Amino acid sequence: MSEAIKAIERAFYAARFGDAHEGIDRLLGGTARRDRRLYETAVLLRARVLRYEGRCDELLVELEAFRPTFALNAAEASLLKAYACTYLGRHDESARWSSAARSVLDRCDHVRTRMDRWAALRYELWHAQSLDAWAASRLDDAESFLGMAEVADKSAALWHGRSMSALEQSRHHHLRSLIHARRGDHRSEVQQTCAALDAFRKVHKEDRDTFLAAVILVNLAVAVRELAPCIAGPGVVRRVKDWYAAIDWVPALAKKAYEVRLALAIRLALEGDSRESLLEMNRLVHEAPDAERRVDALVHKAMLSANLEVRPLAASPDLDLAHELAQGASWQSASDERNTLVQIAGLYADFDPARARQHLARYRELQGRHALSAVYHAASDGRAAAIEKYAEALAASVDDAPGSGRRRVQMLKEAFDTFEGRSMAWRAGLAALALARLTVDPAWLQRALEVVRDYPRSWIARNIAALRCEPPAEGVDALTATQRQAALLRAEGLSYTAIAERLGVGRDAVNKRLQEVRRRLGPRYWEWSSAPKLSSAIASDA
């Protein structure tokens, strides 16, 4: 192998993708013109770089006219096309390219001079097929492909092959963790993710795939942020911190570094160290790699500040700056990033409905435009969808269509069920707390208290305690005349805007009156939220 190829591979494994592209350009413009093997190696390296950069359409274009003369290069090109089709959601094409790679490898099985590379491509084929099956939610097939790799690994000595390298073992554990996450077995998910990172320690530093290590670390950091401490406890947190310190966070990995740091900052707040959490979020605001993540950091900082009573949302410069920056952000990336828009809408809903509607409209306009990333566990197993549903339910308080209140309750209940079922205890507590405020039902307050018992020092536990100290719900007789008017008109199906026009007041005044009605009536608000029942209740009281 030429020194130029070795230098490009070192840049690729270190995630210095710009350097890798420059090296490939020099090679293709020079000696590779006269050396077919060198040329094909350079093209395949370009495709691998494009795959890690997420430029899968370009990868397919790059390989479209590529006609390798060496069999193993043909197998590798087919594998890379299969990966690209998986990430683009084109599973039938991915299966076709995997089948083409398998056919080539089967034909050159007898070629022993390239055994190491043949074995590496064979393991990579099983892993590519497993990843595609996982992405298509065919989890039994995904496990079956991994089983084939394990059988080959265990019997390698019998057929004079070679077992999986440490890097291949790391990929293998990573795929196992993806499957466990999709099945909801989060304890096994964390164990396999830790095993994937542990396998990296056996890889020589120059051959260590830094990009893959960063992806796996993000998944572990998300587990630390989301899962109950009994699953992702202090030991796992230490692993995340140790690995964060061990990775060289080059510019290509800046977004992943942000995700890890944000996850650790949220974990600090959940453990009660709010001061350090706020300091880290402030650092993230200034060090965010792009506009979208700077908005995200500002939103998290504003939410935490408000919950800690450092500064109310209505007076938060962080939220105002997030609002301004969100206007110019492209939001053309994965859906989990665009969820920041619906979070902003939820924060503005109570005191600036116009801005809340603006961000909610932008979010809905972008919704579904891009697929969720297939890299992250939480983005593919229902957790991200539940977080989105919770945020949208909060933001939907500005929706004044008839029945919107019931829809919000239903969305929050669905989010709560997912959070509780997925061991996301603190998010379940937030959903239960929102339901307690919306329905004024003490049963939801009790559920909130139960699910956050592992976070006694968190801001969520303090908010639950504060809500328990509020006066109990009252009856219709406690409503003022203006509140009764607003409640009756709402029960008749009028929008907030129509009620405001009928009563000659502002929409915000209507919102405040109906909030007070819900608080005073408690669960009975939902029993009486049809016109005949509410009219009857008010008439009998009068």
Q: Do residues 448 and 480 both lie within one domain? A: no
Tokens of 13: 């494994």
Residue 382 is predicted with a pLDDT of 74
Higher pLDDT, 110 or 27: 27
Is residue 493 within 8 A of residue 517, CB to CB? The reply is no
Pick the last residue of a domain from 261, 282, 298. Answer: 261
pLDDT at 498: 82
- Per-residue pLDDT at 392: 82
Neighbours of 64 (CB within 10 A): 8
Rounded Cα–Cα distance for residues 130 and 179 (Å): 9
Tens-place pLDDT, residues 237-269: 999 999 999 999 999 999 999 999 999 999 999
Query: What does the pLDDT average to over 508-532?
Result: 66
**What tokens were used for 190?**
């964390």
- Regarding whether 407 and 394 lie in a shared domain, the answer is no
Residues 6+ apart with CB under 8 A from 507: 353, 400, 496, 497, 500
Angle at 244 between CA 386 and CA 52, to 5 degrees: 70
* Closest-CA residue to 447 (of 460, 462, 432, 466): 432
- Which of 12-26, 32-46, 435-449, 457-471 has the highest mean predicted lDDT (pLDDT)? 12-26
Q: Model-level pTM?
A: 0.85
Amino acid at residue number 98: S
Tokens representing 243 are: 């690995």
299 and 390 share one domain: yes
229/312 same-domain check:
no
Count CB-CB contacts under 10 A for residue 18: 13
How far is it, in rounded angstroms, from Cα 392 to Cα 412?
9
- 247 with 199, same domain: the answer is yes
Decide: 149 and 123 in contact? Cβ < 8 Å: yes
Do 383 and 422 form a contact (C-beta atoms < 8 A)? yes
**pLDDT score for 374:** 41
| Predicted pLDDT at 532 | 54
Q: Which spans in 288-334 are helix H? A: 291-307, 317-328
Segment among 35-39, 252-256, 464-468 with least mean pLDDT: 464-468
Q: What is the arithmetic mean of pLDDT over 396-425?
A: 83
pLDDT (average), residues 375-396: 72
Cα–Cα distance measured from residue 355 to residue 398, given in angstroms and rounded to the nearest whole number:
10
Joined tokens for residue 117: 């590379």
pLDDT at position 84 is: 96
Does residue 171 share a domain with residue 247? yes
DSSP codes joined into one string, 160-194: T--PPPHHHHHHHHHHHHHHHHHHT-HHHHHHHHH
Contact 199, 166 (CB under 8 A): yes
More confident residue, 373 or 97: 97
Q: What is the pLDDT of residues 291-321, one digit of tens each?
A: 999 999 999 999 988 887 767 777 789 999 9
What are the pLDDT digits (tens) for 51-89? 999 999 999 999 999 999 999 999 999 999 999 999 999
Q: 299 and 391: one domain? A: yes
Do 495 and 481 sit in the same domain of this protein?
Answer: yes
Residues 6+ apart with CB under 8 A from 297: 258, 262, 281, 284, 285, 288
Domain count, the chain: 4
Average confidence score pLDDT of the chain: 85
Mean pLDDT of 180-189: 93
Question: Which pLDDT value is given to residue 380?
Answer: 60
Answer with the one of 470, 504, 529 that is the final residue of a domain. Answer: 470
Weakest mean pLDDT among 221-225, 236-240, 287-291, 491-495: 491-495
Is residue 219, in this structure, part of any structural domain at all? Answer: yes
Structure tokens at 386: 């539940």
Is the pLDDT higher at 378 or at 340? 340
DSSP states along 250-277: -GGGHHHHHHHHHHHHHHHHHTT-HHHH
Q: Which two tokens stand for residue 142?
A: 């995904």
Q: Is residue 76 part of a domain?
A: no
What DSSP element (H or E) covers 494? none
Residue corresponding to tokens 């074995």 = 119
Q: Which domain holds residue 195?
A: 165-261
Coarse DSSP helix, strand, coil percentages of the chain, rounded to the nearest 5 percent? 75, 0, 25
Does the residue 442 lie in any domain?
yes
Q: Return the closest-CA partner of residue 303 out of 419, 466, 430.
A: 430
Contacts of 396 (CB under 8 A, 6+ apart): 349, 360, 404, 407, 408, 411
302 and 393 co-located in one domain: yes
244 and 230 belong to one structural domain: yes
Residues 382, 328 share a domain: yes
Residue 401 DSSP symbol: S
- Vertex 166, ends 164 and 167: CA angle to 5°? 95
Residue 448 lies in a domain: yes
Residue 367 lies in a domain: yes
Residue 79's pLDDT is: 97
Gap between the Cα atoms of 293 and 290, Å rounded: 6
- Which CATH number do you get for residue 508? 1.10.10
Indicate whether 505 belongs to any domain: yes
Q: Who wins on pLDDT, 480 or 273?
A: 273
Distance separating alpha carbons of residues 344 and 77, to the nearest angstrom: 44
- Cα separations in angstroms, 105 against 50, 160, 172, 380, 468: 24, 16, 20, 31, 66
How far apart, in whole angstroms, are the C-alpha atoms of residue 413 and residue 397? 15
510 occurs within a structural domain = yes
- Let me know if residue 59 belongs to a domain: no
Q: Indicate the residue among 348, 371, 399 that finishes a domain.
A: 399
Lowest-confidence region among 40-49, 251-260, 342-351, 435-444 = 342-351
For residues 194 and 186, give the distance between their C-alpha atoms in angstroms, rounded to a whole number: 12
